[in-house]
Amino acid sequence: MSETILTTNNIVLNEKFDHKEEAVRFVGSLLHKQGYVEEEYIGQMLEREEVTSTYMGNYVAIPHGTEDGKKSVKETGITIVTAPDGVDFGEGNIVKLLIGIAGKGDEHLEVLSQIALVCSEEENIDKILQADSKEDILAIFEEVN
């Protein structure tokens, strides 16, 4: 994954969330703070969760906006948030790793394929959740590139 999309500024370790909405808002606000999206994108991320959960299995969720939300995307970006205590994404699905994405045009497809490569290996998810530093997480994502 290119250094420009994922940097230590986009990674937050050991967050705690009481519920899914709080977690999705946090991830969205990170994307907004880093200049990837307009503030409206956060609402479109919450809308996406109402339509279909972004829970992917293996304690991973990939919150992102609706198709309509694309017009709120300034540039492709990704954020990574670990929540070791987990947050319930409904139906007993516990999420400990949140990967927020915003894709300009079709760029999100490339980002998603790289995320899928990392997250398809359970050991990578364990490494991310146990990482002591943001640099450790960057290294895991760079290994698959």
Active site residues: 64
By three-state DSSP, how is residue 82 classified? strand
Q: Which amino acid makes up residue 136?
A: D
CB 30 within 8 A of CB 12: yes
Residues 6 or more apart in contact with residue 49 via CB below 8 angstroms: 20, 21, 24, 63
- In angstroms, the CA 65 to CA 43 distance is 8
- In angstroms, the CA 132 to CA 127 distance is 9
